[in-house]
Amino acid sequence: MARWGLLALVLATPTLAEETPDATALERLVVQDCGSCHGLTLKGGLGPDIRPETLEFYDPELLLEVILDGIPDTPMPPWRPLLTEAEAAWIVDFLLTGEAR
């Protein structure tokens, strides 16, 4: 019976995928960390312009893949070790809309 209680506890615990991303922390990450290469106004620098009007034609799934896995042989690092897929999806939405949600 104790085994079932532990299973119920594990199943009732939210997973990382179910957690709501911390919008304030992620917006700060975009401005500071992404901005260190893409420019503090995101208009470009070492990395390209990543404002909504520049990214509007990109597939969100491609942007998600670039954020999580980086671009080999370029300065774009993979963020998968530091971000969950939900957090990366939030960043994609933020980059495409310019708004925190």
**pTM: predicted TM-score of the whole model, two decimal places:** 0.79
Question: Within a domain: residue 76?
Answer: yes
**Token pair for residue 2?**
């104790």
Question: Within a domain: residue 81?
Answer: yes
- Summarised one tens digit per residue, pLDDT across range 27-56 is 999 999 999 999 999 999 999 999 999 999
Cβ atoms of residues 38 and 45 within 8 Å: yes
Write the CB contacts of 78 (distance below 8 Å, at least 6 apart in sequence). Answer: 68, 69, 70
- Summarised one tens digit per residue, pLDDT across range 55-86 is 999 999 999 999 999 999 999 999 999 999 99
Its domain, for residue 32, covers: 19-97
Backbone CA torsion sign across 50, 54, 56, 59: negative
What's the CATH number where 78 sits?
1.10.760.10
DSSP H/E element including 19: none
Q: How confident is the model at residue 15 (pLDDT cuts 50, 70, 90)?
A: very low
Question: Within a domain: residue 37?
Answer: yes
Question: Within a domain: residue 11?
Answer: no
Amino acid, single-letter form, for residue 33:
D
Question: Within a domain: residue 4?
Answer: no
Domain total of the chain: 1
- Summarised one tens digit per residue, pLDDT across range 90-100 is 999 999 999 87
Three-state SS at 20: coil
